[in-house]
């Protein structure tokens, strides 16, 4: 047991089917070594892979939140270490984190006594959740209202969305409310727009997972952010996103959200909006290249040169298995 090392459970649960053999090997090698001891070149040498293949593998695990790069300076190569647990991942800060503590039962009672709005909010949320919210729920909703500054109607819309996706734990609702507060979702219109965006992302992922045979029914936090950008930022349809997935699978043989995003950004910059437009554009490029090659006298091979080389070249033999 002294020679064992830990492997995150999510690798077994979520990635054995999605990750390639090379990606699994790279991860196991890093997990089995002291954190920060290996860089891309060292990994490539140990696994007999190219550095570019190793970089692709590392990109996959960093995108999935399993690895993160060590601190790097200009004279040292980049090294990788296991990431902290997902709930501790650093996220871009929209504004400084709000320092707060949970209100006491007496504070909650006082707020209910003085505010009809708080009493009404607790009552409506209790009906929406279908259970007595008690201290945990009351303290959560009071934090969302008094500390994070979310209006009562926005809190109700947030809880309504959480119920619709079967996420009714108070810790989840509080975390989602904090995220909404940081994004300044403080009106009914903004809340409706956010929920519509989340619904589009979930529907798109469900459709993509079914078509591509992916085994996680709900997107991870990273996958949700990528999809939201592709749908809302790049205005890509499901057909375009699935075509990008197919191109990624054909060219890399592994799941790479970064590779898909490069493809989609290229299509966006070229103002291509449908798979038919993509295929037409690629045909034009291919025909233009063939025409340019024909004008320059280039061909894919020179038959005469190949035949002459085959005749003149001395045959050599080696034992099967020798390099």
Q: In the numeric block, which tokens belong to residue 229?
A: 């950008």
* pLDDT digits (tens), the chain, 323 positions: 567 778 877 777 767 766 778 888 888 888 887 556 678 888 888 888 888 788 877 877 776 667 776 655 444 455 665 555 544 444 445 455 566 789 999 999 999 999 999 999 999 999 999 988 999 999 999 999 999 999 999 999 999 999 988 888 998 899 889 989 998 999 999 999 999 988 888 888 888 888 888 777 777 767 888 888 899 889 999 999 999 999 988 888 777 888 899 999 999 988 999 999 999 988 887 777 777 666 655 554 444 454 445 444 554 445 555 55
Residues linked to residue 289 through DSSP beta bridges, in sequence order: none
pLDDT given for residue 80 in this prediction: 60
Domain spans in the chain, listed from the N-terminal domain onward: 9-86, 105-186, 215-269
pLDDT given for residue 152 in this prediction: 93
**What is the phi/psi pair of residue 81, to 5°?**
-135, 160
Cα 85 to Cα 11: distance, rounded to the nearest angstrom: 13
Cα 261 to Cα 35: distance, rounded to the nearest angstrom: 29
Class of domain 9-86: mainly alpha
pLDDT given for residue 86 in this prediction: 45
pLDDT given for residue 115 in this prediction: 92
pLDDT given for residue 191 in this prediction: 93
List Cβ neighbours of 49 (8 Å cut-off, separation of 6 or more): 22, 26, 43, 57
How does strand 67-69 pair with strand 80-82?
antiparallel
Q: Is the pTM value of this prediction over 0.75?
A: no
CB-count exposure of residue 257 (10 Å: 0-12, 13-18, 19+): buried
């Amino acid at each position: 047991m002294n020679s064992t090392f830990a492997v995150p459970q999510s690798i077994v649960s979520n990635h054995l089917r999605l990750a390639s053999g090379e990606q699994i090997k790279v991860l196991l090698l890093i997990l089995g070594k002291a954190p920060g001891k290996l860089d891309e070149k060292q990994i490539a040498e140990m696994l007999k892979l190219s550095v570019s293949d190793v970089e692709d593998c590392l990109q996959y695990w960093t995108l999935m939140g399993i690895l993160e790069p060590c601190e790097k300076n200009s004279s040292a190569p980049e090294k990788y270490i296991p990431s902290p647990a997902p709930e501790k991942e650093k996220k871009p800060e929209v504004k400084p984190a709000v320092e707060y503590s949970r209100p006491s039962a007496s504070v909650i009672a006082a707020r209910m006594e003085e505010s009809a709005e708080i009493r009404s909010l607790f009552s409506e949320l209790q009906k929406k959740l279908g259970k007595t919210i008690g201290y945990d729920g009351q303290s959560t909703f009071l934090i969302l209202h008094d500390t994070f500054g979310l209006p009562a109607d926005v809190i109700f819309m947030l809880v309504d969305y959480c119920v619709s996706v079967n996420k009714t734990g108070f810790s989840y609702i509080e975390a989602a409310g904090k995220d909404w507060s940081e994004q300044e979702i403080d009106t009914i219109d903004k809340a409706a727009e956010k929920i519509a965006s989340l619904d589009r992302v979930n529907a798109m992922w469900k459709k993509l997972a079914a078509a591509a045979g992916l085994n996680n029914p709900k997107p991870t936090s990273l996958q949700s952010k990528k999809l939201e950008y592709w749908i809302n930022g790049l205005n890509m349809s499901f057909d375009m996103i699935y075509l990008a997935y197919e191109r990624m699978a054909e060219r890399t043989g592994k799941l790479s959200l970064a590779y898909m995003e490069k493809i989609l950004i290229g299509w966006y910059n070229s103002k291509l909006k449908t798979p038919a437009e993509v295929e037409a554009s690629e045909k034009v490029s291919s025909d233009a290249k063939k025409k340019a090659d024909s004008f320059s006298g280039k061909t894919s091979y020179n038959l005469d040169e190949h035949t002459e080389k085959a005749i003149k070249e001395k045959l050599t033999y080696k034992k099967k298995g020798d390099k």
